[in-house]
Amino acid sequence: MQIPDIWSLLTGMASFVSLFLSAGERFARWRKYSLPVAAGLGGFAIGRISPSLSSGMDHLFSEPKAAGFILLIFLIIAALILVAYLLMRHGQVMLAYFVFGMGMISVPTSIMPMYSKMIETVPPGDLVKLAQVKVTSGEYEQAIKYLESAKDKTKNDAFKKELQAQIDKLVRKSAKISVENQPK
């Protein structure tokens, strides 16, 4: 992570903290100071993050699962804010901070691996092409990995059999080369 990204993350978190401080009655005297700070830091964080988001918008609209994933994250954040607000209204300010903080830390780390498994980044046909390039350069082990990955991603049984035949051929070729290269 680069320094500007870390700074954006810190200012975004600081804006949430200052917003929560101003929402509670305990720090009502500080509200006239904390609300402008929250707005300023939040605006800075959004301004720093928005260029990277706008460059990825074409991927968002080309992949329907990504839009659902973004909606899921926004709903989870809205639920965390609602729970924190209700806890603050009942006088449980520290518990509200804890629930919101733990939710913001644990939810993205548990959802991101699920998303990366859900979205296929490289189609099976492209993996076969990558394997062909690796074969021409003599990197048989890497070509086998690409072909196995393509076989796992495809649903076509005939294509799977063809890929398995290519994998078997490359395994034999790789074994033959390794036997020839052994010292005598």
**Tell me: the pLDDT tens digits for 88-104?**
888 888 888 888 888 87
Q: Encoding tokens for residue 29?
A: 């005297």
Cα separation, 22 vs 14, in Å, equals 12
At 116 the pLDDT is 65
Low-confidence ranges of the chain (pLDDT < 70): 1-28, 31, 34-35, 41-42, 44-67, 112, 115-121, 178-184
At 16-39, the pLDDT tens digits run 666 666 666 666 677 677 667 777
CA–CA–CA angle 177, 180, 183 (5° rounding): 130
pTM of the model: 0.43
| Angstrom distance (rounded) from CA 46 to CA 152 | 39
Which residue type, as a one-letter code, is found at position 121?
Answer: T
- Quote the pLDDT of residue 81: 86
Task: Please give the Cα distance from 68 to 71 (Å, whole number).
Answer: 5
- Phi then psi dihedrals of residue 123, to 5 deg: -70, 155
